[in-house]
Amino acid sequence: MTGVTARVPAKVNLQLAVGSPRADGFHDLVTVFHAVSLFDQVTVKPAARDAVTVTGEDVGRVPVGQDNLALRAVAALRAAVPDGATGTRGVQVTIAKRIPVAAGLAGGSADAAAALVACNQLWATGLSQQQLCEVGATVGSDVAFALLGGTAVGRGRGEQLTPALVPATQYHWVLAFADGQLATPEVFTALDRLRASRGGRGGKVSPQEQGGRGGDRPPGRTPPGLDASLMSALRAGDARLVGSRLSNDLQPAALSLFPALRKTLAAGLELGALGALVAGSGPTCAFLAASAERALELAVAMSGAGVCRSVARVTGPAPGAAVVSAQT
């Protein structure tokens, strides 16, 4: 085989509940991942040594050395299979990026997942999805979900996954991309700071901090819990109910670091979104629409409102990382 190309989706979190920092510095999470139809493509080819090139969205912001998550995934898979199984000495990875970088959409983890499925085919290593998830979890917390796709509950750092048993309802989303990035560790640090400063007033999030409907779970020291109302809305396939239950504990922190997002969230809700929230650690905002037509209207109106850099219409749930073509 001379090359394999895999496609992989971005994700939004329909719920992102964040606990206290753990001894290892990470936070315990309970999250409902939802893959959406914004895809990166990753091609792998045999080469003398591992290398990566990137084309498309935010090219200049993607590391092209061993820090690249796709290259780290290649190395992790190589280490996980018997010597000699990988056939060639190196892999040339080419990433066609459409998922904006440091946007809360887990694009780096997505590329790692795509590299895993592509190399698994290139090398004919035959690992199961479960085995690839285990390798992926050593590369990043969101890699396992990018392999799985669909809608799934994540626990721990997000890598312990349970697929959500929900009907095949298609949800229509508008993503509003921001003019800027947020670094995930900084958003978690800002959340810890906000929670510490709120200690004196019962841990309540003020409406100013809140900025929209997402993230209304009272923060605290208790372990985060799954939102049963969101899960029953998903089981009912009721977009209106799902929209009313979107929540993200990181949202107040993202808004404190990127205040312009308040206007973006408010504009989308005023323009008829069923629900709105900051995607993951932000700064992308996600808006749920009642139908494909409403999503188109919302996307047009959001572009005209001058509250974001650009918009994309996507649907969810989308399938996880999968090979789309193989060259022989």
Interacting residues toward ligand ATP by CB under 6 A: 62-63, 67-70, 95, 101-109, 111, 142, 184, 280-281
Instruction: Give whichever of 19 and 107 is closer to ligand ATP, judged by the CB atom.
Output: 107
Selected catalytic residue, list 50, 111, 142, 227: 142
| CA–CA dist 52, 54 (Å, integer) | 7
Residue nearest to ligand ATP (CB): 108
Nearest distance in Å: CB 63, ligand ATP? 5
With CA atoms as reference, report the closest residue to 16 among 157, 112, 164.
157
Nearest distance in Å: CB 232, ligand ATP? 27
| CA–CA dist 103, 280 (Å, integer) | 8
Nearest distance in Å: CB 38, ligand ATP? 12
Q: Check residue 156 and give left, alpha or beta (phi > 0: left; psi -120 to 50: alpha).
A: left
* Helix, strand, coil shares, percent, the chain, to 5: 35, 30, 35
Helix axes 129-137, 107-122, angle to 10 degrees: 130
The single residue listed with the structure tokens 């996307």 is 299
88 Cα distance to chain centroid:
32
Q: Is 142 a catalytic residue?
A: yes
Which amino acid, residue 297?
E
Instruction: Give whichever of 274 and 278 is closer to ligand ATP, judged by the CB atom.
Output: 278
Instruction: Give whichever of 29 and 299 is closer to ligand ATP, judged by the CB atom.
Output: 29
Instruction: Give whichever of 63 and 223 is closer to ligand ATP, judged by the CB atom.
Output: 63
Q: Is 249 a catalytic residue?
A: no
Selected catalytic residue, list 11, 45, 97, 227: 11
286 Cα distance to chain centroid:
11
- Residue numbers annotated as active site: 11, 142
